[in-house]
């Protein structure tokens, strides 16, 4: 195939790829909405049918139901996170497009698909994806969600470290499990041997991983693992003694990267402090944000000026930002509608 013919094929496929990518995003958003709608309906219908049962049995059934719905919701979020990754191939883009346009009817499913190797890179670029999404939501809506400049565009920061180097993960006070979770995810994404190390005493940073209670112990661990990347998880404790010890450990060495774990449900001032006021006065490189799906204004985490690397464990791609903003916008409109209906219902009473 000549370069001219290849360019011609690429030009004709580009609109189809663009449309397929848009339809895939629509499918993901609609699926999540249907999940919540079904969850609400099932909750109401099931509990409405068993009011004659003893209270203890009703409560037990309600707990089982809510547990099942929560599990389904988490499974869906994990699926969305995987699909939103810029590294995830999309061999089903054509199938999603055909499903939306009802062109699957009458098709011989034994025929091999014409194209099955599409990736995000081969489809519409991230800037276009952000522009398309922004057109479906008013600028006022984006601003209310904390995105006055629109959604973040571009690839999320990469995890980079060589053998013998250390990646620092700083968890918020009282949330050591978040630091361990992020450290575990970073270790899984490294293309190198790694060793997760917990800094400080068990009372402030509990866990079964290797532990460094002092700068000297951290150096001993490094000496024993010269070919591994050390991922050091530290808790930014509010207890003065723990804070001083964390500062001594952190100040004893340099880091290839510093990741900060931030809970997006907090207000802007708390988020900024958590992201920038760190043990040993180290500077943050990347934020791993948690609970962004629950945040009323998910864009507030961007006000710190520190790049976002992970969103609830998934790479912070433009696609994932769009899904989160869309979900937050639906919840925002729902709250506004409920607020406007309350005065009217109160006046009728």
* 227 or 119, greater pLDDT: 227
Q: Which residues contact 262 (CB under 8 A, 6 or more apart)?
A: 172, 271, 274, 275, 287, 288, 289, 290, 301, 304
pLDDT of res. 75: 57
The per-residue pLDDT for range 278-325, each reduced to its tens digit, is 999 999 999 999 999 889 999 999 999 999 999 988 888 888 888 888
3 state SS of 254: coil
Please check the confidence at residue 37 and state whether its pLDDT lies above 70.
no
CA–CA gap between residue 53 and residue 270 (Å, rounded): 45
Distance CA 342, CA 349 (A): 11
SS3 33: helix
**Cα angle value 135/136/139 (rounded, 5°):** 60
% of residues, the chain, pLDDT over 90: 39
Domain annotation for the chain: domains and CATH numbers:
3-100 (no CATH), 166-316 (3.40.50.300)
Q: What are the tokens at 90?
A: 């999309």
What's the CA gap between 60 and 46, in Å, rounded? 12
Helix residue spans in 190-255 (DSSP H)? 215-224, 240-251
* Structure confidence at residue 73 as a pLDDT band (50, 70, 90): low
Q: Characterise 165 by phi-psi region: left (phi > 0), alpha (psi -120 to 50), beta (else).
A: beta
Percentage with pLDDT > 70 across the chain: 57
Cβ atoms of residues 143 and 40 within 8 Å: no
The band of 27, judged by pLDDT with boundaries at 50, 70 and 90, is low
Q: Say which residue, 1 or 118, is predicted with more confidence.
A: 1
Indicate whether this model's pTM tops 0.75. Answer: no
Q: Which residues contact 284 (CB under 8 A, 6 or more apart)?
A: 170, 258, 259, 260, 275, 276, 278, 304, 306
Element (H, E) at 212: strand 210-212
**Residue range 338-347, pLDDT digits in tens:** 777 665 555 5
DSSP SS3 for 115: coil
Residue 98 above 90 pLDDT? no
Q: Which residue has the higher pLDDT, 71 or 265?
A: 265
Judge whether residue 190 has pLDDT over 90.
no
Q: Are the C-beta atoms of residues 278 and 252 closer than 8 Å to each other?
A: no
Query: Are the beta carbons of 279 and 239 closer than 8 angstroms?
Result: no
């Amino acid at each position: 195939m000549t370069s001219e013919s290849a360019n011609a094929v690429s030009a004709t496929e580009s609109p189809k790829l663009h449309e397929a990518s848009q339809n895939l995003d629509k499918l993901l958003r609609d699926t999540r909405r249907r999940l919540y709608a079904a969850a609400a309906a099932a909750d109401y219908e099931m509990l409405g049918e068993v009011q004659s049962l003893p209270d203890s049995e009703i409560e037990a059934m309600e707990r089982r139901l809510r547990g099942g719905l929560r599990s389904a919701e988490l499974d869906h979020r994990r699926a969305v996170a995987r699909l939103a990754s810029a590294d995830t191939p999309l061999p089903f883009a054509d199938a999603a497009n055909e499903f939306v346009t009802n062109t699957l009817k009458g098709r011989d499913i034994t025929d091999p698909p014409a194209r099955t190797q599409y990736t995000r890179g081969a489809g519409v670029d991230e800037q276009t994806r952000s522009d398309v999404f922004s057109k479906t939501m008013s600028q006022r809506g984006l601003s209310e969600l904390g995105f006055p400049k629109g959604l973040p565009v571009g690839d999320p920061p990469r995890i980079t470290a060589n053998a013998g180097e250390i990646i620092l993960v700083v968890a918020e006070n009282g949330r050591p499990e978040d630091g361990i979770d992020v450290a575990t995810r970073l270790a899984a994404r490294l293309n190198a041997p790694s060793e997760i190390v917990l800094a400080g005493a068990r009372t402030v940073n509990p866990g079964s991983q290797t532990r460094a209670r002092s700068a000297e112990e951290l150096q001993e661990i490094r000496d024993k693992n010269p070919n591994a990347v050390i991922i050091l998880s530290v808790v930014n404790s509010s207890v003065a003694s723990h804070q001083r010890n964390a500062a001594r450990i952190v100040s004893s060495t340099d880091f290839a990267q510093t990741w900060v774990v931030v809970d997006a449900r907090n207000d802007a001032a708390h988020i900024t402090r958590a992201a920038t006021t760190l043990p040993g006065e180290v500077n943050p490189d990347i934020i791993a944000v948690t609970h962004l799906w629950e945040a009323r204004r998910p864009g507030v985490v961007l006000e710190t000026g520190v790049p976002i690397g992970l969103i609830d464990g998934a790479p912070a791609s433009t696609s994932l930002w769009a899904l989160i903003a869309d979900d937050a916008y639906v919840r925002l409109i729902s709250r506004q509608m409920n607020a406007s209906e309350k005065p009217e219902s109160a006046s009728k009473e």
